[in-house]
Amino acid sequence: MFEPDKAILAGVDLPSKNHIPIEESLAELARLASTAGAIVVGRIQQKRQKPDLTYYIGSGKLEEIKALMAGTSATMLIFDSEILPAQERNLEEALDIQIVDRTELILNIFAKHAKSREGKIQVELAKLQYQLPRLSGMWEHLSRQRGGIGLREVGEKQIEIDRRIINKRISLLKKEIEKVRKERSARRENRRRNQIPSVALVGYTNSGKSTLLNVLTDAKVLTQDQLFATLDPTTRQLYLPNNRQIVLTDTVGFIQKLPHQLVEAFHSTLEEVIEADLLLHVVDAAHPYFEDQIKAVMTVLEELKCADKPILTIFNKADKLMQKISNTILEKYQPAIVISALGNKGLDRIMGELARFFDKNKLFKIETS
Ligand SMILES: Nc1nc2c(ncn2[C@@H]2O[C@H](COP(=O)(O)OP(=O)(O)O)[C@@H](O)[C@H]2O)c(=O)[nH]1
Ligand SMILES: [Mg+2]
């Protein structure tokens, strides 16, 4: 029978401005791990000024990890950040356990959830780009294990061959993505010619984007209390109270420390965001660190060069709130609306704001306030 991996989570608390607290980041990592199908059996954390060069985590912590491994029969150690290929190798050697980093974990979840051809191509590209700098490690590891003298040269030749194969595959995938990108852009051009404005749902993963698309348009997109349930963008038509037609697109969610390979590979999908006339930023207002999540989303939007697009902030999950959202917060994120997508509350206000925004005479004009 298939045995799920038993995972220990490891986080190093480094000094850095505006970041999600380590406890919360590890809680999120635990959700990522279970979305990927692993069972979390332990947690290790350490405060440091900077990562250890050899092991990322301090070497003093290795004994503690070993003891925890023995006590929990863990099969995997998951780091809450991207670690260097050399560090991964050193850890594997010192601990004799499978090492996974945050980037790899997210890539695996994406691979599991990719449904469309486009999604699959994008994930494969991101995975290969992640693997490329890690090739030599794989072979060094093997030659050290087997201890053969000639194996080193064989290994080096093999790395060269692997690298060439992977590079070839990468350029092929990029060409395919370019084709899809052109199709998408033709579709968008068509909409533009017909003057159909487009709105993109953005937001942290699990904030309720797909739920909102479903209740607004009856789209039947998969919604789940999981991170990254949806990867493929879904676009639906929507008629506003002023009889204007718009299209609304649900996109892949953002997360803190989103692997840059993914942002790059998912550029064609994310172009729906880049080209949108207006962004609806869906926020899980019931999440204890929703303001940090807002920051993480803004960081990705900056990476995509669309942080200065008009944004309407949607504070979702109002039904779960113990107390009302303060006026200070509402003012800080103006223009903002409080809703419950699941409870069907406040949807008419979204429709009203959209109608106002895309008022017949002010098409594509930006209303700020
Ligand atoms: N309580 C509550 N839960 C919600 C609301 N909107 C969405 N959810 C839940 O939040 C989880 C994530 O929703 P989903 O739409 O998949 O989020 P996405 O990752 O942003 O697309 C699901 O379990 C939804 O049922 C809401 O207004 N109230
Ligand atoms: Mg979704």
**Which tens digits make up the pLDDT trace of 177-227?**
999 889 888 888 888 888 889 999 999 999 999 999 999 998 888 787 777
The pLDDT confidence band at residue 51, using thresholds 50, 70 and 90, is very high
Rounded Cα distance, 124 and 138, in Å:
19
Cβ-count burial 76-113 (b if 16+ within 10 Å, e if not) = bbbbbbbbbbbbbbbbeeebebebbbbbbbbbbbbbeb
Please work out whether the CB of residue 341 comes within 6 Å of at least one atom of ligand 1: yes
Q: What is the DSSP string of 100-169?
A: EEHHHHHHHHHHHH--SHHHHHHHHHHHHHHHGGGHHHHHHHHHHHH--STHHHHHHHHHHHHHHHHHHH
Rounded CA-CA distance 91/12 in Å is: 15
342 Cβ below 6 A of ligand 1: yes
pLDDT band for position 256 (50/70/90)?
confident
**Is the CB of 340 within 6 Å of ligand 1?**
yes
* Residue the block writes with tokens 């490690």: 137
Look at residues 314, 310, 249 and name the one whose alpha carbon lies nearest to residue 278: 310
Question: How much distance in Å is there from the Cα of 189 to the middle of ligand 2?
Answer: 25
**198 by DSSP, 3-state: which?**
strand
Q: Is the CB of 300 under 6 A from ligand 1?
A: no
CB of residue 253 inside a 6 A radius of ligand 1: yes
**Separation of CA 287 and ligand 2 centre (Å):** 16
Supply the DSSP symbol for 253.
P
What's the pLDDT at 43? 96
Model's pTM, two decimal places? 0.86
CA dihedral 96, 101, 104, 110 (to 10 degrees): 120
Point out which residues pair with 203 in neighbouring strands: 282
| Contact call for residues 131 and 176 (beta carbons, < 8 A) | no
d(CA 90, CA 85): 9
- φ, ψ of residue 40 to 5 degrees: the values are -85, 125
Q: What is the pLDDT of residues 5-30, one digit of tens each?
A: 999 999 999 987 667 889 999 999 99
What are the strands of the beta sheet with 76-79, ordered from one edge?
39-47, 6-13, 76-79, 98-101
Least confident of 42-51, 76-85, 217-226: 217-226
Ligand 1, atom 14, residue with closest C-alpha? 208
Where helices occur in the chain by DSSP H, the ranges are 22-35, 61-72, 85-95, 102-113, 117-131, 135-146, 151-193, 209-217, 260-265, 267-274, 290-303, 327-332, 347-357
349 token code pair: 């206000």
DSSP codes of every residue in 209-237: HHHHHHHHH-------SSTT---S-EEEE
Pocket test for ligand 1, best of 32, 35, 106, 206 (most atoms within 8 A of CB): 206
Q: How many Å lie between the centroid of ligand 1 and the Cα of residue 226?
A: 9
202 CA distance to ligand 2 middle (Å): 10
CB distance 229 to 113 below 8 Å = yes
More confident residue, 143 or 289: 289
